[in-house]
Amino acid sequence: MAEPDDAPKGMSPDAGFKDSGVEISEDTFPELDAVAAIQRGLHAFNQEMGGPYDREPVTLLARAPDGTARGGLLGLTFWGWLFIDWLWLSRDLRGKGVGSELLQRAEAIARERGCAQVYTDTFSFQAPDFWLRNGYTEFGRLEGMPAGHARVWFKKTL
C-alpha cells in the first residue's frame, strides 16, 4: 500500500496537514466514484513503481451435475505471481481431492501465464494443513486474528 511521505525530522507527521487543503471525514456509504478514485490512484502508483500488472482473473468452479456451484477457486495472476484469494468447497466435497485438483489447475494456468510463484492467506481454522500438503510453506502469521486464531500466509514456487 502506498504510504504518505515521512515528515521531516523533528516535525510532527501531520504538521503540514493544516495547509493541505483537504478535509478528512468518515464515510460509511462512499460513492462509487470516490472508491474508484482511490483504487485508480493506488493502481497507477503500483504500476509506476512495479511495472504493468497484466492482471488476469483465475476462476475455477466445481459444479454439481445440475450446474450448481459447489465450490471453487478465485484468484489473480499479476507481476509473475498467482494470488489465490478464495478457495471454498461445500462440506460434502472436502477431503475428496477436489480442493487439490482446483489448486493444481490454478497453478497450471499460472504457469501458462508465466508465473513462477503463488501465494495466499487463510485462517488457522481454515485447514492450513491443506496448503502444507500441497507444497506450500508458511511465511507469515498474525496471531489473534480473530481472537483465539491466526491469519496465515503461504507461498509456493511453481
* Model confidence pLDDT, tens digit, residues 128-156: 999 999 999 999 999 999 999 999 999 99
| Residue 3 belongs to a domain | no
Residues 6+ apart with CB under 8 A from 86: 72, 73, 74, 75
| Residue 21 belongs to a domain | no
Looking up residue 97, the CATH number of its domain turns out to be 3.40.630.30
Task: List pLDDT tens digits, range 40-86.
Answer: 999 899 899 998 888 999 999 999 999 999 999 999 999 999 999 99
Overall domain count for the chain: 1
Confidence check: pLDDT of 124 > 90: yes
Instruction: Using alpha carbons, select from 114, 91, 110 the residue that is nearest to residue 102.
Output: 110
Q: Name the pLDDT band for 21 (thresholds 50, 70, 90).
A: confident
Q: What cell numbers appear for 71 in the block?
A: 465450490
What sign results for the dihedral spanned by CA atoms 44, 46, 51, 55? negative
Q: Has this prediction a pTM greater than 0.85?
A: no
| Residue 122 belongs to a domain | yes
